[in-house]
Amino acid sequence: MNAHADTAAPRPGDTYVQSFARGLQVVRSFSAEAPRQTLSEVAQRAGLTRAGARRILLTLQTLGYVESDGKWFRLTPRILDLGFAYLSSMPIWNLAEPEVEALVDRVKESSSIAVLDGTEIVYVMRVPTHKIMKISLGIGSRLPAFCTSLGRVLLSGLEDSEIVRRLEAAPRTELTRHTVTDPATLLRRIQQVRKQGWCVVNQELEEGLISVAAPLYGVGGQVTAALNLSGQANRTDARAMQEQLLPPLLETAQTISQLLRRKGN
């Protein structure tokens, strides 16, 4: 008998449902760049055979998550149920929304809340004032963590070794001439964010976009999410944005953190 049998990694059949994972691959193959696809395109983007992709697509179609005209496949609005299941399971965001709306009304800049997922941030709330980015953002949108104020705040809640692991795993693309991509430099900046309790990112994600973010703390003082304000460099430079927007941002973040702790999140 193998002495290590009890501690060996579980076999895929024990805990991993491959067909379910492939179904998620098919769903994730659809995007803004590929809102409708042929069977061959889905198979290629999901890394599946045509036969495998076809079975999954027909299953999703039967369940109402996909529709087809015989050639093209596209997701239906029902797919939103999957994302909103997460949001509805965390009613704290409903409680936080009035606070974020009040912040936006007060400072006249867009605000968002995001959580960390691997090397990316995922938006769980967004209250815009006017369009300030070329990127269209909404609930469920993803952005790289390394070059965003929200991402650096969220990363600051991790141990240094985990921060390094995620930075090294991330595709650190130089999105603008200001984007910092060196892992060692990024780690130092994230450590500074942890120390000061807030973060400003100046035009690293997109030219002309400045963002300031603060952590939202849950039970036990853990960084649960992050709150930001975003503005345009041609209206407010980084220093002025920090001076004018950081105090109300920190005030709102503290209020939402109290709600998080009260609700046990």
Cite the DSSP H helix spans in 9-91: 12-15, 18-28, 39-46, 50-63, 80-88
Closest CA to 206 of 138, 156, 143: 143
For position 173, what pLDDT does the model report? 95
Confidence of residue 6 (pLDDT cuts 50, 70, 90): very low
Using one digit for the tens of pLDDT, what is the confidence trace for 188-202? 999 999 999 999 999
Pairing of strands 209-217, 223-232: antiparallel
pLDDT at 7 over 50: no
Confidence of residue 87 (pLDDT cuts 50, 70, 90): low
The DSSP output letter for 204 is: S
For position 1, what pLDDT does the model report? 36
- Inter-axis angle of helices 183-196 and 160-169, nearest 10: 140
DSSP secondary structure string for all residues of 117-155: ETTEEEEEEEE-SS---SS---TT-EEESTTSHHHHHHH
The SS3 of residue 217 is strand
pLDDT at 234 over 90: no
Rg (CA), the chain: 21
pLDDT at 9 over 80: no
Using one digit for the tens of pLDDT, what is the confidence trace for 54-72? 999 999 999 999 999 999 9
Q: Are 176 and 227 in contact (CB under 8 A)?
A: no
Query: What is the mean predicted confidence (pLDDT) over 217-226?
Result: 91
For position 140, what pLDDT does the model report? 82
Computed over every residue of the chain, the mean pLDDT equals 88
Long-range contacts of 45-52 (CB under 8 A, 24+ apart): 46/22, 48/22, 52/22
Q: What region does 58 belong to: left with phi over 0, alpha with psi -120 to 50, or beta? A: alpha
Residue type at 129 in one-letter notation: T
What is the H or E stretch that residue 68 is in?
strand 66-68
d(CA 31, CA 54) in angstroms, rounded, equals 18
